[in-house]
Amino acid sequence: MWGVAISLLIWLILSVWNTANICNEQVEINRLLRKIDRELENCCECNEKVPDKNLDTIAKAPEANCRVHFSGLIMGGKFDLSIGISKIYEEDLASEYVGAGYYSNNNLAFPKAVRQTFDGIAIDKGTRLIIYSRPNFKGAVLLDVEGPLVINNILFKDNPIYSHCNSDTYPPELQATYPQSKRIWSSSDMQKWSNGSCKIICDK
């Protein structure tokens, strides 16, 4: 009988001890969660909500003198998927072709170009493009230019596969708007421009 009583007492002690350990672990977990919440609240970039695409200003369809073509490929006068070149104003699997609008998150507005990373942009005449380093038009202004202008990523300037794109003779309708004097290599790595936001503003 004493053996049963002692066994029962040991079981009760172990149960209480295990319960206390579980409670202590739960308290520690709750403390860590509260700490993480405080750190997130104090982190401006982390605390920045990712906007719904529907909250952007309604984008207009691209039209002459009011359009921008973003690509994850190099921008050129002829589409060539085998080496990664988009043709200006022809949307493809790595690009978006849009009109005026305030695009508060590039990831949402230009998913194909961002997925491949920005490597080429064509801006029509009469069109201003401003790119910000962070969503919601915050952070540094990475680019503020008016078209007509073709910008290709400086990373590929010395690559013979792509270096010709800024000196090629385009088809006549593109050459008239984008002569060689209106094509430049970016001043910094365009792939770092992908995750911010942008405004496209037109004269008309």
For 26-67, write each residue's pLDDT tens digit: 656 656 555 555 555 444 444 444 444 444 555 678 999 999
pLDDT < 70 regions, the chain:
1-59, 204
How many Cβ atoms are within 10 Å of 107's Cβ, its own excluded? 17
Where do the domains of the chain lie? Answer: 1-47, 53-202
CATH class of 53-202: mainly beta
pLDDT tens, residue by residue, 148-157 = 999 999 999 9
Helix extents (H) in the chain? 2-42, 106-109, 111-116, 172-175
